[in-house]
Structure 1
């Protein structure tokens, strides 16, 4: 798939290069979007750490995943300013719903304002509180209330809890995506013991041998830096 020509070997790159690449590809594949731009601007103006939100390209990807699995119900753990939530909501068919969980009350307020700006407030239900506590309260009455897609993008220390709950709530054949699992290579370097890095390692150990999912990690390098996500399919 990739050339091994010598000019590609040992070529140092940086986030400047990755950002330039994102911008170049986005110019062809990600249409201009004043509503999403307004969502990001409002998120930043309200003091939320917008740099940890998904990028334009990543938001586009998440929306395409939702479309490809024909998602009618999407579960999101970690709302922040609602950028990814809007991308999911726009991908839903009529009658679809995004259920998003957020612990920070200010984030919830900003996100709800952003949903109105994007015109998707009727498609989103926000559950405020620690997701480790609120996820167990979601009790589908039947298969029609299961989720087709789950996106986990919150504190990494509780990744295992979030993933196990997602498995309970996502239908067979559905998709679970866990963001920020490479973290500039720190997860694979055991010299780093930050709780976020440890949380990802524990999740990898949990998934290993788990017969309820098939999963892989996809590395990314773009305007949000060197990172990646776990893509899992519920068996």
Structure 2
């Protein structure tokens, strides 16, 4: 939930964009449209989208999962990096927000790779588990309501194969996680998740200070 990596001044951030980000035109157009959206703060930054795209390519991922779509920037970043037979199951509740996403998926020629599930994500994840899809996904991105983060994480961990990767957004929460005076439910939920991940021997982790903080959790064998 940050349009740029936190902790960088504008001069350095501009330099980062100019010397690192290779944003395809279709992603740039989507980002520009979303910038005018009332909830534009929910979009990930372009450098984070590119980073996740690189991770997907490094893993040669084919089967991926996303919890929280919004206008589709992260899902489009991932889908563009998947092979022709790759798949992304995208979970969201909003027909309004995802209508924007679907326009850009279609324009980018990746709509056939994306299976949009409009339902509470916990229900979708439970359905996938009930269908026998545990340990079949290569990569997952979690970026939805914070108070359900632990619920999402536990289910996604079952769905990811050993050696698969989970990326979890907003783990620095604009610095609020480090302020003990802030005790609202979303902030506490992220703190709880961060502590859970730190202590969880089922995964190898790294919290990367990109965007609003992105934790990478590699599922151990």
Give distance in 2, aligned partners of 1:188 and 1:15: 14
The counterpart of 2:122, out of the listed 109, 132, 155, is 132
RMSD of aligned residue pairs (Cα, Å): 2.2
Q: Comparing 104-113 with 47-56, which one deviates more in the overlay?
A: 47-56
Q: Comparing 117-126 with 169-178, which one deviates more in the overlay?
A: 117-126
- The question of whether the paired residues in 2 share the 8 Å contact of 1:217 and 1:231 is answered with yes
Aligned match of 1:180: 170
Aligned match of 1:231: 216
Give distance in 1, aligned partners of 2:55 and 2:14: 21
Q: CA deviation at 1:193?
A: 1.0
Aligned match of 1:27: 18
Aligned match of 2:109: 119
Runs of 4 or more above 4 Å deviation: 14-17
Structure 1 residues 20, 124: CA separation in 2 closer, same or farther (over 3 Å shift)?
farther
- The question of whether the paired residues in 2 share the 8 Å contact of 1:212 and 1:234 is answered with yes
Residue correspondence of structure 1 range 83-232 to structure 2 within 5 A: 83-139=73-129, 141=132, 146-220=136-210, 227-232=212-217
After superposition, the C-alpha distances for 1:111-161 in whole angstroms (9 at most, x for unaligned) are 111211222111111111221222111135467x71101110111111100
Residue correspondence of structure 1 range 63-82 to structure 2 within 5 A: 63-82=53-72
- The question of whether the paired residues in 2 share the 8 Å contact of 1:132 and 1:162 is answered with yes
After superposition, the C-alpha distances for 1:13-43 in whole angstroms (9 at most, x for unaligned) are x979534323322223322522112212333
Q: TM-score, normalised on structure 2? A: 0.88
Query: 3-state DSSP class of the match of 2:105?
Result: helix
Structure 1 residues 142, 197: CA separation in 2 closer, same or farther (over 3 Å shift)?
closer
Q: TM-score, normalised on structure 1? A: 0.83
Structure 1 residues 154, 15: CA separation in 2 closer, same or farther (over 3 Å shift)?
closer
After superposition, the C-alpha distances for 1:77-102 in whole angstroms (9 at most, x for unaligned) are 00011001111001112210111111
Q: Structure 1 unaligned segments of length 5 or more: list them.
A: 1-13
Give distance in 1, aligned partners of 2:208 and 2:89: 25
Give distance in 1, aligned partners of 2:7 and 2:147: 29
Give distance in 1, aligned partners of 2:176 and 2:49: 24
Structure 1 residues 130, 159: CA separation in 2 closer, same or farther (over 3 Å shift)?
same
Give distance in 1, aligned partners of 2:142 and 2:8: 27
- The question of whether the paired residues in 1 share the 8 Å contact of 2:34 and 2:43 is answered with no
After superposition, the C-alpha distances for 1:147-185 in whole angstroms (9 at most, x for unaligned) are 101110111111100100110110000111111011232
